[in-house]
Structure 1
Amino acid sequence: MNNMDEKIFLKQLSEAHGPSGKEKWVHPLIEKAFQDCCNIKKDNVNNLYLTKEGTGKGKIMIMAHCDEVFLMVSEIIDKGYLKVKGTGIDPKTLVSQKVLIHGYKKIEGIIGIKPPHLMNSDEREKAITIDEILVDTGYSKEELEKIVRVGDYITIKREMVELLNNNVACKCADDRAGIVAMKCCLDEIKNINHELDVCFVASCQEETGIRGARVATANVMPDIGIAIDTTFDSGLLGDQGRENKIGQGPVICIGPNIHPKVRKKIMSIAKEYNIPFQLEVEPGHTGTDAWNIQTVKEGVPTLLISIPIKHMHTSVELINIDDIKNTGRLIAKFIEKLKDSELEELLCF
C-alpha cells in the first residue's frame, strides 16, 4: 500500500465501530483487505485469523487488537437522556462528543454538560464522573425505550482528520493502526516465498483485559508471537519518562515480557534495512496482547512492536502514517529473513 491507501484503510477502520465483544462489526473491512492472500477463520470469542502459508515448517503469529473503548447504556431516564457505564475512557474527554448508540437501530446522541452560567461554584471546580455523564438523544423517554435497551453499546462518532507531516487524528488508532500495519506487512510478503506460516490475528477484548490474545495463541500455538499495539509518545501531554517520538519509527519493547534473542534479531534486521526504530523499557506488565501471548501453554517467545500516538483513549488519537508503514515493513523483513532451520537456536535463551 502507498501512504494514500494506508490513510484510506485507517480512515475506514477508525470510523467504523467495534467495541469489545462486538468486534465482528468491523470484521468485514478486515476480511476484505486480507482475503486475496489469506485463509480466514473465526473463533468463539470474535478473534479473526488471517493465515498465509509458508514453504517450510514453523509458524509466526502477528496480532493487533480490533476492539475499541466504549460506553454502555446503564439507565434510560426522563427527557431522552441515557446514563452510561464506560471502560477505558476518562469522563472528562467525553464532554461535547458525538456518539452512536447501537440499539434496535443506530441513533446519534451527544454528551453535553450544564453551561458554566448555570453551575454553582462547587460544580465549576469538581471533575465530572462517569455517573454524571448523560447522553442526550433528543427523543422522549417513551420513544427512546422503543429503540434502546439497558446494556446497548455506545461508541464515539468521529471522522478522521488529516494533519501536517503525514499525521492523522482519529478515534481508536489504538489499535486499528495495528491492523493497518498488519496489512502493510502482508503487502510486503505477498510475493515472497517465506518459510514460516504467517497467521495474522485481529484479536478481541484487549481493552477489557487482554482476553482474546490468550484464546488466539492457544489456537495458533506459534513458534513466535508478535503483538502490534500503540504506545505513549513523550511530547507535551505524553509520557515524558519515555523517549518515543511520533514520526521516528516503530517502538521495540525491552523487558521480561519480551524474548531477548528474538528482539535482538529484529533490531539487527531494522538496522540492515535502514528501517527507523525506537526502544522503550517495560519492566513489568506491558498492558498489551503480548502479556498473554507469552504465557500460553509451555510459553511463546514474544515481541511487542508499538506505534507511538498522542492522546490515547480519546477521540483524537494522533498517529503518523510512516510509523504504521515502517512497523509493517520491519515485521515483513523479519518474516522474509527467518528460516525454520534457525528457530531452535534463536528461540533458546
Structure 2
Amino acid sequence: MTALERIIAARIRATGPMTLADYMETCLLHPQHGYYATRDPFGRAGDFTTAPEISQIFGEICGLALAQAWMDQGRPAPFTLAEPGPGRGTLMADMLRALRVAPGMREAARIALIEASPHLRKIQRDRLGHVQHLDRADDLPQQPLFLIANEFFDALPIRQFQRVEDGWAERVVTLGPDGLRMALAPPVDLPRPGQPGDVVEDRPAAPAIVAAMAGRIAAHGGAAIIVDYGGWNGYGDTFQALRAHRSEDPLASPGEADLTAHVDFAALAAAAVGAGAVVSRPVHQGDWLLSLGAAERAGRLAQAGDGGAWPALHRLTDADKMGHLFKAMAIWPQGAPPVPGFDALRLHADDA
C-alpha cells in the first residue's frame, strides 16, 4: 500500500466514499505524494510521451498556426502567450522558435504558464528562463490571448455516472476487503438519455476554464488551440491509468500512475460559444498537422540528418497511432479569420 493509498483509505473511513473527481485530484496533486508533485512523468524514462516530446514538428506547427492568427488579427501587442499544463516546457520552446517567422511577435509576447506542480514549475523555468506562472485560467491577463493546450484537459478530474433502473448512480471510490474498489452511490436524476449499464463522464472544472480563455479571446482578440484525445458526447468509461507506458488499474497505485480520461469536446465547444467566441469543429490531429505542412517539415529535417523525423511524423499523424485518437479544436474572436486548419462549428450560445 502506497503512502497516498493509506491517506485515501483513512479519509474514506472518516467521511465516506470519494467521487472520482476527488480521487483523481488527490492522486495527481497531493502536495507530498501526488503524481505531478513528485516526478517528471514525461518521455521514455517516465510514464507517457506527449506529442512535443516525440518531435519538434508538433510544436513548430502549433507555433506557426498561432503566428498566422496573430498576423491575421493585426499583430496586437503586447499579448499573452499561454499554455496550461506545459510539462517540461518543450512545446513552448518549439513554438517560440517558430514564432520568428512573424517579425515582432516574439518581442510582443508575455509568456504565461498555468501550472499547479512546484516540481514542474522549476523544470519549466530552467528550460524557458523568465516566465510568469499562474495558478488558474482566471488569472490570465485581460489582453489579447494566444494559447495552446495540449493534453491538458484529459488530466482534469472527472465524475462518472452509470445508468441504473432508477436513474444515474455516481461511481465512487470506497474500501473493500482487499483495498480500494469502485461502488455506486444512490441514484440521482440527470437530464441525459441512456440505457442500463451506460456510463457518462463529466469534467466539472473544464467549462469554466474554457470560458475564462474564450472570454479573453472574445473581448480582446487572440486564439486558442486545444489538442487532446476524446470524442463529442462524454459517453463511455474512459478512466485510465498509465505507468511506465503501460495501462494499469487506476486504483492500484495511487500517486504513482498518471490518471486521465477522454475529453468531451462538445462541452468545451459549448463553453467557448457561451463566452462569446467562435469555435471550430474538432479535426483529427494527423489531418491538421499534415494540412499545415508537417510532411514537408519532416522532409527538411530528414535532409538535415534527423533520422527520426519520418518515424515521428507517422506516430503523430497515422490513423492507427495518434493521428485519429487525438483531436484538435480552435477558438477565435467573432469577425476574425479562422485559425489555420480549422472551420467554424455552427454552435449557438443556447447550446452552452
TM-score of the pair, normalised by structure 1:
0.26
Larger helix proportion, structure 1 or 2? 2
TM-score of the pair, normalised by structure 2:
0.26
Higher relative contact order (CA 8 A, sep 6+): 1
